[in-house]
Amino acid sequence: ADTVQAEYVWIDADLKTRSKCRTVTTKQAESPESMPAWTYDGSSTGQAPGEDSEVIIVPRASFLDPFRPDGKNIMVLCDTYDAEGNAIPTNHRAPAAVVFEKHEGEVPWYGIEQEYTLMNLDK
């Protein structure tokens, strides 16, 4: 078969994950850039008013789907935009991508920070 199931995943207004599935060609599934954008009714997720509720989901990353055992279907992480192309307020990846693009030559450092509170409970 030259098709796969692509589960588009995004974050809603309550910062919970939502998803919907579509069939795409294996060629489209090769990269997020070749996958089609899609839409959903943002009024049902608290991300758009009822009179102008179309939200566009744009694929940004894809991974093999661990919940579909055949090994070829994918999960697609998406950004959310309004009809004018503006990032929805819960789309925190979009402004982060702008910062990372401005500093493309930099190598980000990530680390774990542990904090401790010392208390004198003997007094």
The model's pTM = 0.79
pLDDT (tens digit per residue) in 7-57: 999 998 888 999 999 999 999 999 999 999 998 877 777 777 667 778 899
* Closest by CA position to 59, among listed 80, 84, 87: 80
pLDDT value for 25: 95
Separation of first and last alpha carbons in the chain: 73
Residue 84 DSSP SS3: coil
Q: Among all chains, which residue has been given the structure tokens 């991300």?
A: 47
pLDDT value for 1: 67
